[in-house]
């Protein structure tokens, strides 16, 4: 089940609001029976429960994608190491799919597909 903040971000984005501060723009609360909107300070209408519910599938997709991207980020070598791989690939005339940088990036992407 998609998190409420994810669904709110999708609702806001669809209504041309790109960035939400969940400390001042929108405050959520959970008293044990599920999260809900406690305070709404955006210049767009607060969504109804039905509108929020309509973002369930898109929210699940966004959260799954974010998990994949986070996992990939943790598995990629540091940027300085990637640049070193690229340098050595270029020196060895392997600036293509045979280079070590490409192999590293492909392995991470293959292990963590976006689906």
Domain boundaries, the chain: 1-70, 76-115
Sign of CA dihedral 48, 39, 35, 32: negative
pLDDT at residue 89 above 90?
yes
Q: pLDDT band for position 115 (50/70/90)?
A: confident
Predicted local distance difference test score (pLDDT) of residue 32: 93
Across the chain, what does the average pLDDT equal?
96
Beta strands in the chain (DSSP E): 26-30, 35-40
Distances 48 to 20, 26, 32, 35 between C-alpha atoms, Å? 18, 14, 20, 14
Which whole number is the average pLDDT over 46-58? 97
88 beta partners:
none
Would you say residue 47 has pLDDT above 90?
Answer: yes
CA-CA-CA-CA torsion for 70, 9, 61, 106, nearest 10 degrees?
A: -30
**What is the share, in percent, of the chain residues with pLDDT greater than 70?**
100
Mean pLDDT of 8-19: 96
Mean of pLDDT values over 46-75: 97
What kind of fold does domain 1-70 have according to CATH?
Answer: Phenylalanyl-tRNA Synthetase; Chain B, domain 1 (3.30.56)
CA 23-29-35 angle, to 5 degrees, is 125
The pTM assigned to this predicted structure is 0.81
Is the confidence at residue 102, as pLDDT, over 90?
yes
Q: CA of 83: how far to CAs of 42, 44, 72, in Å?
A: 42, 44, 17
pLDDT attached to residue 106: 97
* Residue 97 clears pLDDT 90, i.e. is over it: yes
């Amino acid at each position: 089940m998609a998190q409420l903040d994810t669904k709110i971000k999708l609702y806001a984005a669809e209504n041309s609001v790109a960035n939400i501060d969940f400390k001042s723009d929108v405050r959520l609360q959970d008293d044990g029976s599920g999260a809900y909107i406690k305070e709404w300070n955006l210049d767009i209408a607060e969504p109804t429960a039905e509108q929020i519910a309509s973002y369930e599938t898109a929210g699940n997709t966004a959260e799954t994608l974010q998990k994949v991207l986070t996992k990939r980020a943790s598995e990629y070598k540091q940027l300085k190491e990637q640049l070193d791989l690229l340098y050595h690939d270029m020196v060895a005339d392997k600036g293509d799919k045979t280079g070590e940088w490409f192999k590293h990036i492909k392995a991470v992407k293959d292990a963590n597909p976006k689906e």
